[in-house]
Amino acid sequence: MLTKDHQKKLLPAGSFFRKNLFPLFLLLLSLLAFGILIPWLGFYMDDWSLLYLAYDKNDLTTFFQHKRPWLAPLYASFSAILPPKPLPWHLLLLLLKWLGAVVVWHLMRKVLPQKPNLAQAVSALYLLYPGHLIAFHPLGFLFHYIQALFIFASFLVHLEFIHREERSGLLLLIAICLSLANLIISEYFFFIELLRPILLFFFIHNAFENLPLSEKIKKTLYQWLPFLLVFSGVVLFRFHIQADISRYNTQPLFEYLSKPVQTFTAFINEFFHDFPIITLQTWKYAFHPKDVIMLADYQGMILYICIMAVTFLLSTLYQYKYQKEYKNDGRLIYGVLLILGAISVFLSCLPFWLADVKFQIGFNVQNRYIIPSALGASLILAGLLFLLPLKKLIRIFITSVFISFMVGAHFLYANSYRHEWEQMKRMLWQITWRINSIQPDTLIISNELPLQMISENSLSAIFNWMYSTNTARGEIDYYCYFDEERFIREVGSLERPCIHTSAHMIGTISSSNTHLLGLSFSPDTCVRVLDAGIDLYNPALPGFLKEVVYYSTFDTQQLLKEYEKNGGVISNIAILGPQPAHEWCFYYQKAMQAYQQEHWIDTINEYNQAITLGYFPRDVIEWIPFVKAYALSGQVNEAIRITTLIYNMSHQYGALMCNLWKDISKTIGATPDKPSPYIHLFFEMNCPVDFY
């Protein structure tokens, strides 16, 4: 039987508001850390692949067919409710983060009912754990927070089942179902399930104080048994039927079991290597988030400081007013909490050690492996804060400093995502202005994009969503490469034309390895469709992209065809929001459409309209098409003026200009018997003799 004191601790007296004040405090922290910039955030990395498959293909199995098959119906259910716009998905992610922290708080209250302040500290630190820097992918990381919610809710419901003296079989069934859901969704929180017997013993030890230790252990094992059976069954499935435990470098279970001593030793070594990263380095990073603080402008830094100040005041006031000081509480429990945190960190790392992946702190996709370690790291820091013999005000001050810097760090992370979204929208809108349609079975090759949160898979999903009319399951019309080594490895040398078929996470494509559309983009310039007449001699273009231009058989006239997809390309990227202001790059894209059709007057008109509005080319290469347009429309003096301007800006563009004017000369009918009237230009730019 539960003691009356324990029942009172589990159900503290007070008003509804007072009992729910801490969840409201957590909600406020969530909004300060994750919510302020939500209206200006977008989609990133795998978000695009999932969006394309969910809303355009209506088939998510392609993405999950080999790994994590249960995620397909999970995402399908959410995409059936939410529109393909960033705001609702980000709000859902925020809600899941907050709910997860609330569940952790309730869980800690049940496990440590005599330490309510400690339970609050653990949940707040868990919510704001700074190790996960890339926590703003609303679809890509959705299942991580759902999975965390499932496993911690399973623990909580299980303890509630015991608290009610096992009278409600429904609670036990719910706890088992939540546990099973966690185990089959993915490997991320798989071994966190093994925390259950430890938490059960903590709870039973406190709740059934009169039972002898042996009976407490028996009761713990009895309660754990159905969950152990479920865990064992899923282990057999994942390691023998599914044959792997994750997406990366998987190894069968028997290889580890055949060398238990070596395996255990290796994991201990990994633990001592990764433990400082997951604990010390992550908390340190909150105080100096060097990867993202550089992206904050003056206004951003002012807001960052204000948010930290507000958070510090709120945290301090809350702790001082609503947290009681408990006298004579032994320090042993805090030491036990440190051990529990270390065990939690060990279990959270196991799936990734098995898959031989490394933990990284920084603004990169590998950072996601650290997500399951949040609880363990929070238990350790909270245990240290309460283990040290600090006075209440000093502990409140230190805790508030940690919380305020963590909130500030997450704001800076969000700001870096806002900056990334602005760059991405700028690039995608320019693509829609320049390209009306793309012929199917095209490989799109670009320079390495100045975006950290985009991959070749995600960029390919964007192009297929915008332009593809292919509705066949598992097939795509376009795939993008910006990694030269990967392109050569998968597609082969451009010198040997062939039909290439490759399977990707969003589908399979069959294409000629010379049916290539070249693109170039940088933060300070406009998106450019590569043109053989210009880019074969472009000194700023990487050699690989020059090869793409040279060998490509792609007909760029296809880019101007009327768009076939229902609603048009613009409506298919309505998720980007309203079009940005029409500045230089808008007029440049329209001018290049006219240039491609040899409509020289229209090309010049777009250029003049931009100049009249005060916009000018951002890069030398953006001036060059207008030289040809002016020359072939009869306005030679202006063409020569721009040529001189370009050559004076950088002599390295001399070869390009020589070839451009040679082409112009041929167009107007220059022959060996009728020399070019622009000989003086060839001479001034030191063109080869055969150009004269």
Residue 180 in domain: yes
Domain co-membership, 149 together with 274: yes
Domain co-membership, 439 together with 393: no
Domain co-membership, 572 together with 592: no
Residue 52 in domain: yes
- Could you give the CA distance from residue 135 to residue 131 in angstroms, rounded to a whole number? 10
Give me the number of domains the chain comprises: 3
pLDDT at 12: 47
Domain co-membership, 273 together with 220: yes
- Could you give the CA distance from residue 690 to residue 692 in angstroms, rounded to a whole number? 6
Last residue of a domain, one of 580, 601, 625: 580
Q: 324 and 316 in contact (C-beta within 8 Å)?
A: no
Domain co-membership, 324 together with 238: yes
* Angle at the Cα of 613 from the Cα atoms of 538 and 581, rounded to 5 degrees: 80
Last residue of a domain, one of 580, 597, 629: 580
Give the C-alpha distances (Å, rounded to integers) separating 230 from 143, 194, 196, 220: 21, 12, 13, 16
DSSP 8-state code for residue 22: H
Residue 326 in domain: yes
- Could you give the CA distance from residue 340 to residue 344 in angstroms, rounded to a whole number? 6
Domain co-membership, 534 together with 613: no
Residue 240 in domain: yes
Token digits for 23?
A: 């969840």
- Could you give the CA distance from residue 163 to residue 166 in angstroms, rounded to a whole number? 7
- Residue ranges with strand state E in 221-276: none
Residue 424 in domain: no
Domain co-membership, 569 together with 588: no
Domain co-membership, 448 together with 527: yes
- Could you give the CA distance from residue 437 to residue 162 in angstroms, rounded to a whole number? 62
pLDDT at 583: 93
Give the C-alpha distances (Å, rounded to integers) separating 609 from 426, 605, 619: 20, 6, 18
pLDDT at 284: 81
**Distance from first CA to last CA of the chain, Å, rounded?**
103
Alpha helices in 186-212 (DSSP H): 196-207
pLDDT at 428: 92
Domain co-membership, 567 together with 592: no
Q: Give the torsion through C-alpha atoms of 631, 634, 635, 636, to 10 deg.
A: 50
Residue 378 in domain: yes
Residue 426 in domain: no
Which of these, 635, 690, 638, lies nearest to 659 by C-alpha position? Answer: 690
Burial 382-395 (b: 16+ CB within 10 A, else e): bbebbeeeeeeeeb
Token digits for 611?
A: 């100049």
Domain co-membership, 113 together with 231: yes
- Full domain range(s) for residue 91: 4-418
Domain with 655 in it: what CATH number? Answer: 1.25.40
Q: 521 and 546 in contact (C-beta within 8 Å)?
A: no
pLDDT at 362: 65
Last residue of a domain, one of 392, 418, 444: 418
Residue 619 Ramachandran class (φ > 0 left, ψ -120 to 50 alpha, else beta): beta
pLDDT at 535: 87
- Could you give the CA distance from residue 212 to residue 465 in angstroms, rounded to a whole number? 64
In order along the chain (692 residues), what is the average pLDDT of each group of 10 residues? 50 57 94 94 92 88 79 90 93 96 94 88 93 85 92 94 80 93 89 94 84 87 92 80 48 61 79 84 78 67 90 91 66 85 91 77 71 92 86 89 92 90 92 88 89 89 87 86 86 79 84 86 90 87 86 73 53 74 93 90 93 90 90 86 84 85 75 56 70 52
User: 3-state SS string over 512-526?
Assistant: ECCCEEEEECCCCCC
Residue 70 in domain: yes
Domain co-membership, 502 together with 632: no
Domain co-membership, 442 together with 331: no
